[in-house]
Structure formats: structure tokens, C-alpha cells
Structure 1
Amino acid sequence: MTARLILLLAAVFGALGVSLGAFGAHALRAHLEAAGRLDTFETAVRYQFYHTLALLAVGVLYLLRPELPHLGTIGWLWTGGILVFSGSLYLLCFTGLRWLGAVTPIGGVLLIIGWVLLAVAVMRMP
């Protein structure tokens, strides 16, 4: 993954995070509360934002230090993690399909692996 793509994805995920967060807080609040899923929705938005900001930082790091290992891979892992972790929680909230909760940890593992690879990249910095 290139620095440009990482930064583009950060911009898209950021815009989606604001949009989904506002939509959930206003238009869907009553539905989410009635279904007992407001906390789940908020978790999805929060983790999307954490990793959107992390993607932004990795994209900038990639521009400044393109020789560092794993930055493109970290971008892919966090993109997949956002899509699987937050995406499965959003789908769970909208559809009520409880089996989606079993998919969520896969996204969490992708996010964690990305953080571990970031630590490896930083340790290899001169």
C-alpha cells in the first residue's frame, strides 16, 4: 500500500466516521437504544476513529520515512481491521444478526498485528 492510498483511506474513514457517528447519535439513537445496541455502535465508531487517526499518522510517516519496513502492510492490516471490526459491529447494529459478533475479533486481531508491526518498524529506525 502506498502512502497516498493510506492517506486517502484515512480521509475516507474519517468522513465516514463523522457521518456514521452523527447519524447514530441523531437519526438512529432511538432505534439503537431500543435494540440495546447504542454501546456497540459507539464502540464501532470509536475504534474506527482511533485507527483512522493511526492510518493518518502512518501515512505521514510513510511520506517522511518510506524506507521503514511494514508501513504498507500496516495500512492494509488497519484497513482490514476497520472494515471487519467496525463493519461487523455496524452490521450487527443494523441487522441484529448476532453471529456477526463472532467475526468482530478477527478485525481486532488485524488491528493488533498492525500495532505490533508498527513497533517493529519503529525499533528498526536508526
Structure 2
Amino acid sequence: MNQISRRMVVTAAICGALGVAIGAFGAHGLQSYLTSLGGDADLVQRRLDQFDTGARYHLVHSVALLALAGIGFDSPKLLRWVARLFLVGIVLFSGSLYLLVITGQTKLGMVTPLGGLSWIIGWCLLAVAALKASPAKE
């Protein structure tokens, strides 16, 4: 395994572990925390859904980071950029949703689309890397 792949696997593993831990908090402790803040049932449910969305996309992109480590494209530089964009997306999209839900600071929601945009650009860049790759010799 080369150094780039090793770093991607380590990053994916850390992101995945954090995603599972954060998701577990969302599933087992968040509702009582939000209820203790005094919000009505609809607001609590909306916040739980937002948190769940953040955790789901966090885990999906952790797995995507892991998959990148095994891709042998001709352009490792492009793949590094894809990995960076996926990681930035996790921090901005999922992180802003986690903080929004826990703190109640709705202005954090303005950051969330930037994380989504980071993921979109990352996926598009992955397509470019695939198109630029040399065909396998049979």
C-alpha cells in the first residue's frame, strides 16, 4: 500500500469511527438533550432529522474515502483533491448540522450548503479522474 492510500485509509477509518460515535449519540442521547432545552416536539423532531442527515452523509463519505484508497487511477493528484473535498464536505456539511442541532444556532445552516457543494465538486472530479484514466490492458 502506498503512502497516499495509507493516509486515505487512516482518514476514512477515523471519519468512520467518528461518524458511528456521533450517530450513536444521535440515536441514543440527543432526543433527551433536545427535550431538556424546552423545544416543542416538532422542533425536536426536525433537529433529530437534521442530525441524522448529517450522520448519514458523514458515514457515506467516510466509505467513499475508503474506496478512494483502492482506486488505482493514473492521476493520484486528482484523487487527493477528491479526498480533500470529501473531507471538507464532512466537516462543513455534517459538522455544521451537528453544531446547529446541539447549539440551536440556526446561522450555522448557512455553512451546510458549502459542504454539499464540496461533495458535488469532489464527485465530479472523481468522474474526471476516471475519464482521464488509461484503459486497462487485457
Map 1:7-86; keep pairs closer than 5 Å.
Answer: 7-32=9-34, 34=39, 35=44, 36-61=46-71, 65=72, 67-69=74-76, 70-86=78-94
Q: In 2, distance between residues paired with 1:67 and 1:4?
A: 17
What is the CA-CA distance between 1:41 and the residue it aligns to? 0.4
Alignment length (residue pairs): 123
Corresponding position of 2:100: 92
What is the CA-CA distance between 1:32 and the residue it aligns to? 4.0
Q: Which runs of 5+ in 2 are unaligned?
A: none
Q: In 2, distance between residues paired with 1:24 and 1:50?
A: 16
Q: In 1, distance between residues paired with 2:111 and 2:95?
A: 10
Question: Which secondary structure state, in structure 2, belongs to the residue aligned with residue 48 of structure 1?
Answer: helix
Contact kept in structure 2, 1:3 and 1:72, CA below 8 Å: no
Q: Deviations over 1:27-73 (max 9, x none)?
A: 11233465340000000000001101110000111xxx253351010
Q: In 2, distance between residues paired with 1:66 and 1:119?
A: 11
Contact kept in structure 2, 1:58 and 1:75, CA below 8 Å: yes
Using structure 1 for the length normalisation, give the TM-score: 0.90
Cα RMSD over matched residues?
1.6
Contact kept in structure 2, 1:14 and 1:52, CA below 8 Å: yes
Question: Which secondary structure state, in structure 2, belongs to the residue aligned with residue 80 of structure 1?
Answer: helix
State which structure, 1 or 2, has the greater radius of gyration over its C-alpha atoms: 2
Ranges of 4+ aligned residues in structure 1 off by more than 6 Å? none
TM-aligned CA distance change 1:6 to 1:76, over 3 Å: same
Contact kept in structure 1, 2:73 and 2:129, CA below 8 Å: no
